Amino acid sequence: MLQGKMKKATIAATTRCCWGYALHTTLFRMAVVTSMLLVGAHGQIGETLCACQPSIWDINLNFALSCDDETFVVGPGIEDTACIVAPRQENVTDFDFLQVSLILITERDQERNVINERTILPGPLNNGDSFSYSSYIDGNTDFNTTTLPREIQFDFNGINMLGQLIRATWSLEFTNDCTVFPVVEAGDQTIISSITDVADPPGALCPISTVSPSSVPSTVPSTKPSSVPTTVPSTRPSLRPSSNPSNVPTSSAPSSSPTRSASPTSAPPVVGVDICGCQPGSWEFMLDFNLNCDNATFQPSDPGIFDTACQLFAFDGDAIFQSVNLITILELNQNLDVESQVVLQGPMNDGDTFSYTSILDIRDSFNATSLPRAIQLTILGLNSNGNTLVATWGLEFTNNCTIFPIVTDADETVITNVTEVTDPPAQFCPAVLGPSNQPSAVPTGLPTVAPTSSPTEAVVPTQAPTQSPTFEP
């Protein structure tokens, strides 16, 4: 669930709501790991393998920064870096951010497996807004030489001035060297990200972070180097082992508590039984420029709605629409990946209407991943001064099979009035059939025939059977 993924993240931004949707990116790095040496003892954490990267990151959004402004350098402490900005739809030529809709933060272990779940920071976020991220090493030292974090990646999904979808990604791969600290400092920067503050890692994961260096360096070495090596290598190899071989294996018995264990697999939820799409199959909207986020009738506490978002942002002047130039409608799946994108071109004025048909009404089937989980509308327009306005609202649904309807023709939100909705297909939401068409969980009524008051007596033969059967001649 989205809230669970936000457990280690906070946002400082001037926005009414707590959620925004956009693309959920896959890794852009194409490096292939061919081999990796791992030491196998838990006790070597903090000795030969350390996590000296920050435990807490405070980052300010600066849309003027590009990959050319990056200050991270491959060297002691940093094994590799990556920085990229890319389109998320066709015909994009402008890669300057107007707004960030969603931030995904991923940490990976020594084998580049994702540690727990990706952290989702919901937008909308604007230039100058800030956010804070607490790493999995913050207050946690329970790592082994496989699970210790090695990489961190930040994905920023948003829109440009034309409302087109773009993405910026930067990542760091650490050396996990125990002799290098600090690795990242306040003042470092990269694409649209300025690091304003960091917190030290736990001392158990990076002992050097707890050592205060001497204010006056020593000018004389503490010992005189020996001119003669302490040992001389043998010019003749030994023909025999130095000790008799043991008949007993030298390795210890396998641990009864392995450090990593795979969770037992379970069958995926069944669409229409375990998870359902009970949001509208189609939507009819009317633009009402007098509506703002305070007029929103959608609430996270509403049945069937898990979370909501709403923001109205003006770059200059008042925040009252005079016209709409572009509307982008997204539907996202269970992983918050985009399943559908529709762009409606303006101009549109106050009182104009538009419609949207959900993929629930278009597709014949969904699986436990592709079933729609959220919808987002981003509306770009102009105010009376001709300056750009951005209105964004979104709904995340619970996909509960017992709740219907979720949205009605009485709902409204920023500059958008829902005038009509249609039911989703019953195969994705059996609740649309109503309780009379649902199978009864408890048998009703009484048996149509009453049981007899006493059992029927068996018929007893009047003569004993013969000792042997009689055969006809």
Q: How far apart are CA 192 and CA 333, in angstroms?
A: 27
DSSP-assigned beta bridge partners for residue 345: 326
pLDDT at 387: 85
Q: State pLDDT tens for residues 319-349.
A: 999 999 889 898 999 988 888 888 898 899 9
Residue 368 has pLDDT above 80, yes or no: yes
- In the chain, % of residues over pLDDT 90: 54
For 453, how many CA atoms within 13 A lie in the half-sphere containing its CB?
A: 0
Q: How confident is the model at residue 150 (pLDDT cuts 50, 70, 90)?
A: very high
Q: Which of 164-168, 236-240, 403-407, 447-451 has the lowest mean pLDDT?
A: 236-240
216 pLDDT more than 70 = no
pLDDT higher than 70, residue 291: yes
Q: Which range among 95-104, 247-256, 265-274 has the greatest average pLDDT? A: 95-104
Q: Does residue 27 have a pLDDT over 50?
A: no
Residue 154 CA to residue 335 CA, distance in Å, equals 17
On average, the pLDDT of the chain sits at 78
Max Cα–Cα distance, the chain, nearest Å: 131
- Asked if pLDDT for residue 289 goes beyond 90, the answer is yes
Yes or no: say if 383 and 319 are a contact pair by the CB < 8 Å rule.
yes
CB neighbours of residue 231 within 10 Å: 5
Which of 201 and 37 is assigned the larger pLDDT? 201
The pLDDT of residue 136 is 94
Judged by average pLDDT, the poorest of 28-37, 369-378, 380-389 is 28-37
Residue 36 or 60, more confident: 60
Predicted pLDDT at 196: 97
Residue 226's pLDDT is what? 45
Is residue 259 a contact partner of residue 144, using CB atoms and an 8 Å limit?
yes
Give the tens place of pLDDT for each residue, 130-145.
999 999 999 899 999 9
Is 50 exceeded by the pLDDT of residue 159? yes
End-to-end CA separation in angstroms for the chain: 86
Cα 250 from chain centre: 45
**Whole-structure pTM value:** 0.51
